[in-house]
Each structure stands twice: as structure tokens, then as C-alpha cells.
Amino acid sequence: METLQRTANRGSISTGFDIDNSLKFESDNSERMSFTPASAVASERRKHTISFWIKRTELGSTQYIYEWGGSEGDYLRNFLRFQSDDTLRYATSYNTIINTTRVFRDTSAWYHIVIQTDTVQSSNSDTKFWMYVNGELEGSFTGFNVNDTMAFANNSQHDIGFTSVDNGAYGNYYLAEFNAVGGLKLAPTEFGEFDEDSGIWKPKAYTGSYGTNGFYLDFSDSANLGDDASGNGNNFTLTNITSADQATDTPTNNFCTMNPLLQNPSAITPMTEGATFITGYISSTNWESRFGTVPVTGGKWYTELKADGAKYTNNIFVGYCGTEYTNNHYNNHLVFNGAEGALAIYSFNGDIYGGTGVHGFRIYDGDIVAMMLDADNGAMYFKRLAGPNSDASEGTITWSRDGTNTADPTSGASKTGAQIVDWDGATIVAVSVGNNVGGIEMNFGGYNIISNTQSYTDENGYGSFVMQPPTGYYALCTKNLAEYG
């Protein structure tokens, strides 16, 4: 895993500006959005500013963030994309303007990116393009002529989430607070600022104008996620995007997801849907494990999951483990022993696992399970909430240490009926899948694909859950971590 930047935003910095929503993009679903200006504005093609926040969920492939202009040819399109080596490239059809040397692999954080364009200069040797990441200059370029025009604000197709020229390279990320300002070269400080105490870059509201072909996407209207909130009416048309793709995982409240970095480099176990859906290891008898992005050392935390295609012959481990366990066990399964650093519920051929001192219950296709971690007292609890194939003898039960229905997540230091967490250091969510398993749909509260009704939040109003989290248990997000973690 790369060394995380000092200025990387993880949403835990107090700010007077809250971003309520983001939009999840998934390449497997060909999710994208497009807008074509009614007419070109030459002055805005020569000078404009693009600003947005992005959180990556899948790595190692070419993924377009945006592309202005729907045809090939010099100056007929320009684009910003992640390369397959996870660097960033800003380019026109035939000219790479800026190609970063560093990689963007921190899937636990939000990046803020600003692209400035200004070809209205006194000489050809003047700088024309600038890229800023988290408030700091990433690169610049001078090799264009005075008054050269770009594809932005031209009367051709503007795409977010894919390339229409190459017809593909869809994105895997969350996007938030997308500002496109025509006619102005704006500093990053118009959209963000450094926190006085931590030095971390954080968002602030943009209050200026947008020009004629500019737009502002805040993704706040679930019924119209392509709505231009700038007042210009430059609304985007959505393709394969619905209200279900709206998320509350944002730069001002960053939720846990599953981490694509902590995995076997040769594994083929994919994670999709905003890094919340884990599918099985299809062509091997091996096990593969995946881990969350947010470790905790204290507090009480609530997470849900749903078995998707987990039939009798499938193999699933779900639960928590110590962070030290993640270093060399991504190509193995969780071990149900505190000394080994992991405890979990388990399904194998539909049988209750009978390891020494460990008890569990069956997980069937469609089962929904709540996982509760009391990191203050070193205890964990599991409860099956629903499941069409649950045995009548088991029903909706709380899983306890001795196999009886006595576990109480509010028991505190007494840890009544709990599984005991006795490893040192931080604890993290963990999932293991064996060969030919269906999938696990994770719900940390910021985004998920669980279809069951989700009517509940935690006590602070965060998350969207099937069950009401117990008193004192909270969603794994940075606003809660700042208060309880």
C-alpha cells in the first residue's frame, strides 16, 4: 500500500460546509452521464476551471473521469482519466498535457482535483494548463499557442464516467461537488482550504458564477441526479444511473468501504458497486480475504451484510480481525481463534461450524446479518435479521458465544454472551470467500446494493440500515469516528 499523503482528505475534519451526497459510478453497469451545450462559447473554451472530489473503488485499469468533445482530432476533445498504472493523465486527442508521476491508490480517502485552463496569454511560452490535487500544484504545461481553444464549452458531447470517443473505459469511483466554471481561471482555494490545525485539505462552498456553459453537480436530488444546480440549466442525461446510485459517502463524511489494495495481487475475486459487493473466487479452490478501509481501536460500531447466492455448498467467513492479520492472510481465510487474530460467523456446506470454543449459525442466500463490534470492551455480536431460507428452529436470533440466544450488544463490560476480541491493536471488518461462492453485499451505511427496506439510521442520523443499530452503536464513518473513535 502506498504511503498516505498528509493532505489526503478522509472527511474527519470539522468544517462549516457539509457535502450531503455523492454519486457512485460502476464500470460493470456502464454507468455514465452526458450533456451537450446548445452552442459553443469561444471565451470559455479558452479559459475555464474544473473542480471535483473523487474517491476510488477499483484500481489497475484505464478509467475516464470526464471527456469534453465527442470526436477525435487535435483540440476536438480533452479528457482526464486514471491510467492503468493508477497515475492521472490530462490530455487532448494528440497531446498529453499533464501526466502525473505519483499514483492515486488511496481508496480510503477523497481526492480533490482542480484543472485550470487559460490559453488567453500574451505569448506562446506562457503556462496554459495547471493541475492541483488537494490544494497543491501537481503539474503544468506551456506547449500550446495563444488563444488555442479546447473542447470544453463547445457544442459537442460532454461526458462524465466514460469516453464516448473510445466507447468505454468506464469509471469506478464516487464523485462529489463537481464544478465546471466557464470563462474564469480559479484558484483551488475557491473550492477548498487547508485546515488550520491538521493541515488537511477540506472542501468549502464555491460562491461564484459559472459562465454560460458551466455547471454544478451536487447529486442532491435522487430523482434527478444529473440536475445542474448552478442555475444554468445544463442538465446531464443519465445512462444506467438511478436513484439507487446516490450515496452519502462524501468528503465531509467518509464511510468505510472494502479495500482493493489489501488483496492477493493474483486474485480474481472482484469488488464492485462502490467497493461494497464482493463476489466469489470463481476458478480456484483457494480462499481469498478482503478487509475494510477503516480500522478502529475504540468505540462501538455497526455494519450489515447480505448473502447473495450463498447456497448450501458455498463457503463464507464474515466478521472482524486484528489489522496485523491483514498483512499476510489476504490469500487465506479467517481463522476462528483470538490468538490467530480473527473471529467470524461461518457457513460451510450449510453446517454450523464446530471448532473449539466457536459457535455460529447457517448463512443462506438472502440472509441479512448485523455485525456489532464493541471495541471499548473487546466484544463482538452477530444477529441474523432476515432470510427466506432460514431454518424455523433458528429463526431470527442473536448469535452468542455458547450458542444460546443470550448475547446482548448493550451489555458493556460484562460482555454477556459475546465473542471476545482478545488481540492487540486495531480491529477491522473482514470477509473471506471460497471457490464458487455467490457474493456478499456489505452495508456500512454510506452506499450499498441491499434491496431490503432500509428505514433506520444510527443515533446521529448517519447510515441507512435494515435494523435499528443498538443504543451506542454507530456507522463506520468519519463524523462518528471523530466523536467516538
The residue with cell 465546471 is 180
Q: How many CB atoms lie within 10 A of CB 426?
A: 15
Residue pLDDT, tens place only, 296-305: 999 999 999 8
Mapping DSSP onto H, E and C, the string for the chain reads: CCCCCCCCECCCCCCCCCCCCEEEECHHHCCEEEECCCCCCHHHHHEEEEEEEEEECCCCCCEEEEEECCCCCCCCCEEEEECCCCCEEEEECCCEEEECCCCCCCCCCEEEEEEEEECCCCCCCCCCEEEEECCEEEEEECCCCCCCCCCCCCCCCEEECCECCCCECCCCEEEEEEEEEECCCCCHHHCEEECCCCCCEEECCCCCCCCCCCEEECCCCCCCCCCCCCCCCCCCEEECCCHHHEECCECCECECCECCCCCCCCCCCCEECCCCEEECECCCCCCEEEEECCCECCCEEEEEEEEECCCCCCEEEEEEEEHHHHHCCCCCCCCCEHHHCEEEEEEECCECCCCCCCCCCCCCCCCEEEEEEECCCCEEEEEEEECCCCCCCCCCCEECCCCCCCCCCCCHHHCCCCEECCCCCCEEEEEEECECCCEEEEECCCCCCCCCCCCECCCCCCCCECCCCCCCCEECEHHHHHHHC
More confident residue, 322 or 51: 51
pLDDT at 324 over 50: yes
pLDDT-above-70 percentage for the chain: 76
Span 221-242, average pLDDT:
98
Q: Specify the long-range contacts of residues 130-135, CB closer than 8 Å, at least 24 apart.
A: 131/88, 131/90, 131/98, 131/100, 132/188, 133/88, 133/100, 134/5, 134/7, 134/8, 134/9, 134/192, 134/201, 135/7, 135/188, 135/189, 135/192, 135/193, 135/194, 135/201
The residue with cell 478487509 is 291
CA 181/CA 178 separation, integer angstroms: 10
Q: What is the pLDDT of residue 205?
A: 96
Span 89-102, average pLDDT:
88
Residue pLDDT, tens place only, 109-140: 999 999 999 999 889 889 999 999 999 999 99
Side-chain-facing half-sphere of 149: CA atoms under 13 Å? 14
CA 437/CA 311 separation, integer angstroms: 8
Cα four-point dihedral sign 185, 149, 226, 166: negative
pLDDT at 152 over 60: yes
More confident residue, 324 or 275: 275
Residue pLDDT, tens place only, 211-223: 999 999 999 999 9
Least confident of 183-192, 340-349, 358-367: 340-349
Q: What is the pLDDT of residue 12?
A: 56
Least confident of 29-43, 108-122, 345-359: 345-359
Contacts for 198 with CB less than 8 Å, ≥ 6 apart: 13
More confident residue, 285 or 442: 442
pLDDT-above-90 percentage for the chain: 53
More confident residue, 434 or 69: 69
Catalogue all structural domains in the chain, each as residue range(s) with its CATH number.
22-247 (2.60.120.200), 271-484 (2.60.120.920)
More confident residue, 394 or 314: 314
Confidence of residue 322 (pLDDT cuts 50, 70, 90): confident
More confident residue, 405 or 472: 472
Query: Residue 204 has which C-alpha cell?
Result: 468549502
Mean pLDDT, all residues of the chain? 82
Q: What is the pLDDT of residue 1?
A: 31
Residue pLDDT, tens place only, 170-211: 999 999 999 999 999 999 999 999 988 888 999 999 999 999
Query: Are 246 and 23 within 8 A, CB to CB?
Result: yes
Least confident of 38-47, 84-93, 435-444, 463-472: 435-444
Using alpha carbons, list the distances in angstroms from residue 463 to 41, 110, 124, 132, 408: 42, 18, 52, 31, 22
Residue pLDDT, tens place only, 429-476: 888 776 656 678 999 999 999 998 899 999 999 999 998 999 999 999
pLDDT at 400 over 60: no
Confidence of residue 263 (pLDDT cuts 50, 70, 90): low
More confident residue, 32 or 5: 32
Span 273-296, average pLDDT:
78
pLDDT at 39 over 90: yes
